[in-house]
Amino acid sequence: MKARIALLPGDGIGPEVCAEARRLLELVAAEGGHAFTLEEGQIGGCAIDATGDPLPAATVALCERSDAVLLGAVGGPKWSDPDAPVRPEQGLLRLRAQLGVFANLRPVAPHPAAIRLAPLRSRLLRGVDILFVRELTGGSYFGARRREADAAVDETRYSVAEIERVTRVAARLARQRRRRLTHVDKANVLETSRLWRSTVNRVMREEFPDIELEHVLVDAMAMHLLTRPARFDVVLTENLFGDILTDEASVLAGSMGLLPSASLGAGRVGLYEPIHGSAPDIAGRGIANPYATLLSVALLLRHSLGLTAEAERVERAVGAALDAGVLTADLSRRGAVSTRKAGEAVLDHYRHLARQAGR
Ligand code: IPM
Ligand code: MG
């Protein structure tokens, strides 16, 4: 097949992990006889330095003419002055809004090798397989903001339509999994949460009566995620709660360096990114974990290109590299490998699996 893929490496470790993603995409194309056009664009701090804008018009145009966008990470101490008028994160938020990718999928299923490394008891982690669906283009991230003389306001606003469409995405995914949906809110306090709760109830009753639905308050969820994570299947929540809970859930997977994400909308273009940040403390040293970005490539192959076999092969290749003990510094103190070595291991396993399947 033919596909255009935009690569936005961004800042910090972004370029290092995206270099491995590029190699993997080139290998997937070569092994499968696909023609991928890979084009790079700027976003975040590097784009501010080059153009003054964290999301230059050229980058938007590139993304809009692509089938999928793979992003590294944005931000860093150089641009982190909270009073600065332009910030790298604005580029990412504007891109999400521009592409209309309202459903952010963040799967958390700890690999056996990572279970040993996670700071939590392995007994708790066995059987954990959660798919977070975080609303991504609404709520306090996009509400009106203002500063008053001695106060500040961030508005949280959700429409029924915004809640309905992301609920449908989550429910359809639950149907392909264990048919359980946990909706997380703060309906005992927030009006937006009460609207979420009644809207989710109605959509699920009318369109998905076969899916088991529960509502959990976000504070309780923060606890349940660490005390009984294995009981959750699909978890649906609003933008800010989803941001916080998915960082918490990354502890279940052993490292932030292992978690990919896919952001999907009604349109064709999907946005794929590791959930970790730009990690300025280790940037430029070639030691960042590329697995979350490579797993994001798997999601890209599956959700934007429909290449299911290739996607599974990438996931198996990353699993095989973990099994073989090819671990970067976030996962291992002794004998940690470089970003390049970890990427190379995944490529080797991918090549092997592709040729095995071809025989
Ligand atoms: C994430 C990040 C972003 C967010 C930041 C960089 C704006 O934390 O993707 O989770 O808050 O959405
Ligand atoms: Mg976050």
Delimit the domains of the chain by residue range: 1-106+258-359, 118-253
H or E segment at 270?
strand 270-274
pLDDT value at residue 71? 98
Q: Is the CB of 243 under 6 A from ligand 1?
A: yes
CA of 92 to the centre of ligand 1 (A): 8
Instruction: Give backbone dihedrals phi and psi of 271, rounded to 5 degrees, phi first.
Output: -115, 130
Q: Whose CA is nearest to atom 8 of ligand 1?
A: 243
Atom 4 (ligand 1) nearest CA: 243
What distances in angstroms separate CA 181 from CA 8, 247, 279, one per listed residue? 33, 20, 33
Q: How far is CA 236 from CA 103, 108, 139, 302, in A?
A: 10, 13, 14, 21
Protein residue whose Cα sits closest to atom 10 of ligand 1: 243
**Minimum-distance ligand 1 atom for the alpha carbon of 246:** 10
154-to-84, 183, 343 alpha-carbon distances in Å = 18, 23, 41
As a CATH number, domain 118-253 is 3.40.718.10
- Residue 268 pLDDT: 76
The CATH homologous superfamily of the domain defined by 1-106+258-359: Isopropylmalate Dehydrogenase (3.40.718.10)
Q: Do domains 1-106+258-359 and 118-253 have the same CATH topology?
A: yes
Tens of pLDDT along the chain (359 residues)?
A: 999 999 999 999 999 999 999 999 999 999 999 999 999 999 999 999 999 999 999 999 999 999 999 999 999 999 988 888 899 999 999 999 999 999 999 999 998 888 887 888 889 999 999 999 999 999 999 999 999 999 999 999 999 999 999 999 999 999 999 999 999 999 999 999 999 999 999 999 999 999 999 999 999 999 999 999 999 999 999 999 999 999 999 999 988 899 999 999 998 799 999 999 999 999 999 999 999 999 999 999 999 999 999 999 999 999 999 999 999 999 988 889 999 999 999 999 999 999 999 87
Residue 328 · residue 257 · CB < 8 Å: yes
| CB of 31 shorter than 6 A to ligand 1 | no
Does the CB atom of residue 90 touch ligand 1 within 6 A?
A: no
Task: Assess whether the C-beta atom of 92 lies below 6 angstroms from ligand 1.
Answer: yes
User: Rounded to an integer, what distance in angstroms lies between the CA atom of residue 319 and that of residue 309?
Assistant: 15
The predicted structure's pLDDT at residue 115: 86
CA atoms within 13 A on the CB side of 45: 19
